Amino acid sequence: MTAVLWPRGADEIVALCMRLLLTLLALLALPSLAWAQRSASAEKSCHESLSHIEMRDCLEQLDAQSRRDVAEVQKELSAALQRWDQEPEYRQATADALRLAISRFEQFRDAQCEYVASLVAGGNAASDRRLLCLIELNEQRARQLRSEVERLR
């Protein structure tokens, strides 16, 4: 039995064209998937860097700052819960739930950003995509926790 390298009839030609078209569409979709989770503000501020190394340094600094922001808001929320006008057992249960939520958020964030980085299939932009995702999710989390602090005031 020999392998057929060239289609023999019209049906085979149509099938080959459809496979090629679907493959092309899938390849074109990959870059857009990699841009799905990113911090537009971080990307804009760091994109003006002169080199990729400077851009990476900028993103690493913004990632560190976003982590500090989340940690600061978490402390504010913990303190607000201690002052919350509820019975001690409710304050304690809510503080325990917050600690669990913090842990689960960190697990989700790290897994999600690994996924986003993997969408560039090992390309040079994988670590940039990961950092942009981390920054975005940290910024979202800080905003969310700040609104909870405001509600407790």
Tell me: do 21 and 82 sit in the same domain: no
Tell me: do 92 and 148 sit in the same domain: yes
- The CATH number linked to 141 is 1.20.1270
pLDDT in tens, 7-28: 566 666 655 555 554 554 444 4
Q: What is the pLDDT of residue 35?
A: 45
Tell me: do 130 and 85 sit in the same domain: yes
Number of domains in the chain: 2
Tell me: do 48 and 117 sit in the same domain: yes
On the CB side of 10, how many CA atoms lie within 13 Å of its CA?
Answer: 0
Tell me: do 67 and 99 sit in the same domain: yes
SS3 string, the chain, reads CCCCCCCCCHHHHHHHHHHHHHHHHHHHHHHHHHCCCCCHHHHHHHHCCCCHHHHHHHHHHHHHHHHHHHHHHHHHHHHHHHHCCCCHHHHHHHHHHHHHHHHHHHHHHHHHHHHHHHCCCCCCCHHHHHHHHHHHHHHHHHHHHHHHHHHHC
Tell me: do 70 and 2 sit in the same domain: no
pLDDT in tens, 34-49: 444 666 667 667 877 6
Give this prediction's pTM: 0.71
Q: What is the pLDDT of residue 52?
A: 84
Parent domain of 7: 1-34
